[in-house]
Amino acid sequence: MAAMEDVLDVYHRLYDGARPLVRLDEASRQLIGETIPPIPAAPGRPERADYE
């Protein structure tokens, strides 16, 4: 298992186009509102909404 120092060293590496890094933001955010409007209910079919 990697030590925290090993993980932090990754953030100090210089940019290398041959070895791109993927960095994640671990801040918690609550997204409020619909990005895609829900599909209304129809006879025999419940309303459908995107969960993302």
What is the DSSP secondary-structure string of 8-51? HHHTTSPP-TTS-------------S-SSPPBPPBTTB--B---
How far is the CA of 29 from the CAs of 19, 36, 49, in angstroms? 29, 19, 20
CA–CA distance, 13 with 3 (Å, rounded to integer): 16
pLDDT of 1-52, one tens digit each? 668 888 888 888 888 889 887 777 788 877 777 677 888 888 988 888 776 6
Taking the C-alpha atoms of residue 41 and residue 9, their distance in angstroms, rounded to an integer, is 52
- Per-residue confidence (pLDDT) for residue 1, from 0 to 100: 60
- Report pLDDT for 52: 63
